[in-house]
Chain A
Amino acid sequence: MPLLAAEQVSFPVLPALIVVPLLTVVALLFVPRHRADYLKAVALLGTTITGAISVQMLASFDVDDPGFQFVSRATWVEDLGISFFLGVDGISLFLVVLSGILYPIAILATEPHHDAKPYYAWLVLLQAGSMGVFMALDLLLFFLFFEVVLVPMYFLIGGWGHGNRVYASMKFFIYTMAASALMLVGILAVVFLTAAETGVTTFDVTQLAGASALSDTAAMLVFLSFALAFSVKVPLFPLHTWLPDAHTEAPTAGSIILAGVMLKLGTYGFIRFGLYLFPEAAWNVRWLFITLGVIGIVYGAVVATMQTDLKRLVAYSSVAHLGFIVLGTFAFNPQGIEGGILVMVNHGISTGALFILVGWIYERRHTRQISELSGMQKAAPVMAGAFTFVMLSSIGLPGLNGFVGEFLVLLGAFNANRYAAVIATTGVILAALYLLWAYQRTFHGTPTETDLEMKDMTMAEGLSLLPLLGLIVFLGVYPKPMIERIEPAVEALVAHVDAHVADFADTEPEAPAERTDAGTLTDALHEAEEKKEGK
Chain B
Amino acid sequence: MLSTTSLFAVSAEIADPVVKTNLLYEWVGLVPGTMALSFLLILFFGKKLPYKGAEIGITAISLSFLFAVAMAFTWIIDTQSVLNGDKGETAAAVVVDDPIGVGETAAPLIPLAEEGEKARVTIDPIVKEFDWLENGNTTFGVGTLVDGQSVMMLFVVTFISLLVHVFSTDYVGGDRRYTHYFAFLSLFTASMLFMVLSTNTLQLIVGWELVGVCSFALIGHWWEEKANSDAALKAFLTNRVGDIGLLVGMITLYFGAGGTFDIIDINSQAVAGEIDHTLLLIASCCLMAAVASKSGQFILHTWLPDAMAGPTPVSALIHAATMVVAGVYMIARLYPVFWDGLSISGSNINLMALMGGITCVFGGALAFVQTDVKKVLAYSTVSQLGYMVLALGVGAYTAGLFHLFTHAFFKACLFLGAGSLSHACHHTFDMREMGGLRKIMPKTFATFVIGSLALAGAFPFAGFWSKDEILAGAGVWPGTGGNGTYYIPFWFGMLTAAMTAGYMARVIWLVFMGEYRGHAHPHENGNRITVPLMILAFMATIAGFLNMPKPFADFLGIKDAGLAFEHWVEPASVAHFPAISHASPSLSLAIVASLVAGAAAAAVWAYYRRLHQMDPKATAYTDSFVANNKLIRAGHTMLVEKYYLDHLYTHLIAGGTKGPLARAAYWFNQNVLDGTVNVAGRSTASLGRFVYRYIDQGAIDGAVNASGLGASGSGQVLRGIQSGKIRSYATLMFGAAALLAAVFIVVV
Point out residues on A near B: beta carbons under 8 Å. Answer: 33, 114-115, 117-118, 121-122, 125, 151, 155, 158-160, 166, 169-171, 173-175, 177-178, 181-182, 184-186, 189, 193, 215, 217-218, 221, 225, 238, 240-242, 299, 302-303, 305-306, 333-335, 338, 375, 377-378, 392, 397-399, 403-404, 407-408, 410-411, 414-415, 421-422, 425-426, 428-430, 432-433, 436-437, 440, 443-446, 478-480, 483-484, 487, 491, 508-514, 516, 518, 521-522, 524-529, 531-533
Contact = CB atoms under 8 A, between A and B. Distances in A.
A327 to B, nearest CB: 14
A178 B273 contact: no
Contact of A189 (B9, B136, B748): B748
Interface string B246-282: 0110011011011110101100110111100000000
Contact of A185 (B241, B684, B737): B737
A225 B244 contact: no
Nearest to B714: A118
Contact of A433 (B237, B247, B257): B237
B732 A524 contact: no
Contacts of B5: 532
Contacts of A225: 740
Interface stretch (B326-334, B633-641, B653-661): B653-661
A415 B248 CA distance: 12
Given A174-B681, A303-B669, A399-B210, A487 B733 contact: no
Secondary structure of the B contact surface, majority rule: helix
Contacts of A414: 248, 251-252, 255
A509 B255 contact: yes
23 contacts: A118-B712, A171-B677, A173-B729, A181-B732, A181-B734, A185-B736, A193-B748, A217-B747, A302-B662, A303-B666, A305-B658, A333-B136, A377-B223, A398-B207, A398-B210, A410-B251, A414-B252, A428-B244, A429-B244, A433-B240, A445-B223, A521-B575, A525-B268
A12 B231 CA distance: 57
Contacts of A426: 244
B663 A524 contact: no
Interface in B647-678: 654, 657-659, 661-663, 665-666, 669, 673-674, 677
Given A398-B205, A426-B244, A392 B721 contact: no
A522 B134 contact: no
Given A303-B665, A436-B233, A521-B272, A429 B240 contact: yes
B718 interface: yes
B274 A175 contact: no
Nearest to A392: B213
Contact of A529 (B9, B252, B720): B9
A371 B730 CA distance: 41
B251 A421 contact: yes
A437 B658 contact: yes
Contact of B677 (A242, A398, A428, A429): A242
Interface string B713-730: 110011011000110110
A491 B726 CA distance: 43
A390 B160 CA distance: 31
B243 A334 contact: no
A535 to B, nearest CB: 9
B241 A429 contact: yes
Chain A interface main SS type: helix
Contact of B233 (A169, A440, A446, A528): A440
B603 interface: no
B220 interface: yes
Given A166-B720, A480-B132, 18 more contacts: A218-B744, A221-B748, A241-B674, A242-B677, A303-B665, A305-B658, A421-B251, A425-B248, A429-B241, A433-B657, A433-B658, A440-B232, A478-B132, A484-B134, A487-B135, A516-B262, A526-B14, A529-B8
A-B residue pairs, 10 tightest by C-beta: A512-B258, A118-B713, A306-B662, A398-B206, A509-B259, A181-B733, A185-B740, A429-B240, A444-B223, A444-B229
B713 A221 contact: no
Contacts of A174: 681, 684, 725, 728-729, 732
Contacts of B12: 525, 529
B368 interface: no
Interface residues of B, number: 97
Contacts of B654: 433
A511 B259 contact: yes
A223 to B, nearest CB: 13
A444 B220 contact: yes
A328 B703 CA distance: 39
A433 B658 CA distance: 9
B271 A528 contact: yes
Contacts of B66: none
B137 interface: yes
A531 B273 contact: yes
Contacts of B740: 182, 185-186, 225
A178 B136 contact: no
Contacts of B223: 377, 440, 443-445
Nearest to B191: A399
Nearest to B142: A477
B244 A178 contact: no
A444 B681 contact: no
Nearest to B124: A518
Given A185-B744, A425-B244, A445-B223, A241 B237 contact: no
